[in-house]
């Protein structure tokens, strides 16, 4: 039923041959791809669809999940060079890298020894990324929090961002911090991660270096256009999916179960003069769905603009 609804949505667009073509295509598109799934065949296929950028996902595989060790096995140096070579052959670039995250890899950890250990692990990962030349390096601000320690966590986050930003700049990349899901402050006996609202994100970013940007996740917050508008030129990358800000659904943007207003989102991206990649982090069966969905939504937006004149 879900696939039928998405197919019907796509059929509302205009087709050229077998694929929907975008009118006056505005943003280059990309999608998150697990590092274990990058092959010559896969990259050749997505290049043929018109996808020129990827976000490296699954980076957590480089580290021991409970952080018993902070080192990265030498095999990952080999793998990153393999990935760099594959991408170069097909003229696809790494736009962004999603850095590892978990309870143990939380860069806002209260215990100073543990926080420094997390930074050591994250820095070891950054060193391995050099061959793929990422433009953006993305971090989560925190994992779920204990109750009533939010301010202390924010102070720890500030220190970590200042330190990691130096390492990211050494890669000639831009550091970003992603907004997190948080329709309510608490869930069970825990608090939601930091950066759960527009207001909290603004307060935190006042403490960050000015060259640190924000990654806006369209699933983590209702009406993401408000977060885009609030941050303007500090929006450096996106996580595009459909949702309602209440759950980690990460639906294909054309999935009607989500409630994002795509015309409002595109209009805001144009208004803030967003210059990055329209990076998808969403569920799909085939990458062709991502391209066709983007083109459909963009064409709908162009039509809506003309109807207002």
Range of the domain at 247: 2-7+26-307
Q: Is residue 287 part of a domain?
A: yes
Task: Name the nearest CA neighbour of 46 among 34, 61, 29, 58.
Answer: 29
Question: Edge-to-edge, what's the strand order for the sheet holding 174-178?
Answer: 235-239, 213-217, 174-178, 136-139, 93-98, 53-57, 29-34, 278-280
Instruction: Give the pLDDT of residue 42.
Output: 99
Locate 131 and state its tokens: 């061959």
Q: Is residue 67 part of a domain?
A: yes
Q: Is residue 254 part of a domain?
A: yes
By the 8 A CB rule, do 27 and 297 touch? no
Q: Is residue 53 part of a domain?
A: yes
Instruction: Give the pLDDT of residue 170.
Output: 98
Task: Name the nearest CA neighbour of 195 among 138, 268, 240, 265.
Answer: 138
When divided into structural domains, the chain yields a total of 1
* b/e per residue 58-73 (b: at least 16 CB within 10 A): ebbebbeeebeebebe
Instruction: Give the pLDDT of residue 26.
Output: 85
Q: Is residue 42 part of a domain?
A: yes
User: Does pTM top 0.75 for this prediction?
Assistant: yes
Q: Give the CB-side neighbour count of residue 137, counting CA atoms within 13 A.
A: 29
Q: Is residue 17 part of a domain?
A: no
Locate 257 and state its tokens: 């179960």
Instruction: Give the pLDDT of residue 13.
Output: 47
**Residue segments in the chain with a per-residue pLDDT below the cut of 50:** 4, 8, 11-18
What does the alpha-carbon distance between residue 254 and residue 207 come to, in Å, rounded to a whole number?
Answer: 36
Q: Is residue 189 part of a domain?
A: yes
Q: What is the CATH number of the domain that holds 59?
A: 3.20.20.150
What does the alpha-carbon distance between residue 33 and residue 58 come to, in Å, rounded to a whole number?
Answer: 8
Locate 237 and state its tokens: 């990358």
What does the alpha-carbon distance between residue 100 and residue 108 come to, in Å, rounded to a whole number?
Answer: 13
What three-state secondary structure class fits 217? strand
Q: Is residue 13 part of a domain?
A: no
What does the alpha-carbon distance between residue 291 and residue 130 come to, in Å, rounded to a whole number?
Answer: 29
Instruction: Give the pLDDT of residue 24.
Output: 67
């Amino acid at each position: 039923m879900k696939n039928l609804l998405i197919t019907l949505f796509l059929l509302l667009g205009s087709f050229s041959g077998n694929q929907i073509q975008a009118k006056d295509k505005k943003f280059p598109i990309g999608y998150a791809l697990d590092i274990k799934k990058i092959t010559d065949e896969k990259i050749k296929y997505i290049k043929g669809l018109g996808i020129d950028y990827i976000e490296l996902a699954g980076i957590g595989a480089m580290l021991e999940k409970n952080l018993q060790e902070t080192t990265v096995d030498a095999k990952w140096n080999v793998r990153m060079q393999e990935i760099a070579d594959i991408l170069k052959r097909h003229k696809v670039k790494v736009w962004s890298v999603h850095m590892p995250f978990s309870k143990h890899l939380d860069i806002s950890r209260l215990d100073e020894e543990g926080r420094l250990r997390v930074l050591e692990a994250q820095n070891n990962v950054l060193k391995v990324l050099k061959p793929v030349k990422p433009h953006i390096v993305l971090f989560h601000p925190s994992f779920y929090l204990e109750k009533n320690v939010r301010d202390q966590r924010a102070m720890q986050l500030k220190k970590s961002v200042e330190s990691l930003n130096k390492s990211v700049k050494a890669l000639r990349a831009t550091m970003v911090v992603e907004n997190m899901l948080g329709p309510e402050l608490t869930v069970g006996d825990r608090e939601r991660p930091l950066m759960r609202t527009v207001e909290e994100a603004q307060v935190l970013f006042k403490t960050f270096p000015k060259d640190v940007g924000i990654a806006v996740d369209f699933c983590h917050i209702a009406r993401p256009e408000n977060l885009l508008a609030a941050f303007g030129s500090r929006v450096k990358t996106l996580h595009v999916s459909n949702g309602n800000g209440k759950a980690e659904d990460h639906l294909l943007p054309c999935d009607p179960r989500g409630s994002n207003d795509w015309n409002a989102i595109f209009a805001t991206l144009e208004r803030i003069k967003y210059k990055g990649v329209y990076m998808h982090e969403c569920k799909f069966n085939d990458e062709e769905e991502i391209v066709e969905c983007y083109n459909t939504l963009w064409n709908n937006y162009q039509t809506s603009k003309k109807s207002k004149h």
